[in-house]
Amino acid sequence: MTEAASILLTFLREAWMALAGVFLAFALLAGMAQLLRVGSAGMLGSNLWVWQSVSALLSILVLGLFAFLGIPQVVRALQDSLPGAGGCGPISELGAFASGLIGALAALRMLKAAFASALSASIGGAGAFAGALVESAEALFGMLLAAAAIPLAAWFLGAC
Amino acid sequence: MFQPIMDQILALSRDAWAFMAGLLIIVALLGGMYYILQGTAGAAFGGSRMTSMAIVGVVGLVIIVLFAFLFLPQIGEMLKNFQPQPPF
């Protein structure tokens, strides 16, 4: 069980690093595109377009900071609240395996949601932006529910 | 496992960055030319407002280009330094 968890977590860690790298590259490209838009809109005298681009640029920056500074802290806090070993024997191993996997999947899901929201912010899709933030909140509440469910399951299956 | 895909995406991103930087330079040069034309035309027939707007436009364009080429890479470096290790 421990080896399986280790393999899965290594895979998910690599996925996290890849997603963070793509997020960074995309944020920079989106920033450059918005600046190009600001330049051309300013030349045409389109004030609204300029303000839209400036706000999109700022929102991409804020989402990037949230993704890189906020999400790891949230995930660490929630992982600390997940009970790793709610029993003894196979139940304990299963609990540790489940809590590690739930934390990793929720972290990846939140990063993916932040990436999707940055994508929506750069192209001005408010609906997709809201959907991505809802997905992030879902991952958060999923972890909170798991924090409550794991001890209950351990108790039901017979904790030591 | 994800490294080959990452390499491909980063190569594409670098190309896209170079393309957009080049496009920004072209747009800025064309915009600068347009403003200079506007300013000289304004000066020629005594349109002081037109000339001053053209000067302000050129200055704004220069600021935007400087922002793009100096500030954006710094923001990228900052975000790269903040790039988190997996929290699990």
The CB density around residue A11, as the number of other CB atoms within 10 Å, is 13
Q: Is the ipTM of this complex over 0.90?
A: no
CB A63 within 8 A of CB A111: no
Ramachandran angles phi, psi of A36, nearest 5°: -60, -40
Q: Is the pLDDT of residue A91 over 80?
A: no
Cα distance from A91 to chain B (closest Cα, Å)? 21
Looking at residue B32, its pLDDT comes to: 92
Residue A80 contacts B, CB cutoff 8 Å:
no
The identity of residue A132, as a single letter, is: A
Q: Where do we find the tokens 């994508």?
A: A119
Which residue of B30, B64, B82 is in closest CB contact with A35?
B64
Cα distance from B49 to chain A (closest Cα, Å)? 15
Q: Is the pLDDT of residue B30 over 90?
A: yes
Q: Which residues lie closer than 8 Å to A146 by C-beta, 6 or more apart?
A: A82, A98, A99, A102
CB A35 within 8 A of CB B24: yes
Q: State mean pLDDT over B65-77.
A: 90
Based on the number of CB atoms within 10 Å of its own CB, is A4 exposed (0-12), middle (13-18) or buried (19 or more)?
A: exposed
Which residue of A35, A72, A103 is in closest CB contact with B67?
A35
Q: Is the pLDDT of residue A130 over 90?
A: no
Q: Give pLDDT tens digits for A1-57.
A: 777 778 888 888 998 999 999 999 999 999 899 888 888 888 888 888 888 888 888
How far apart (Å, rounded) are the C-alpha atoms in residues A4 and A9? Answer: 8
Which residue of B5, B24, B82 is in closest CB contact with A18?
B5
Mean pLDDT of chain A: 81
CA atoms within 13 A on the CB side of B69: 15
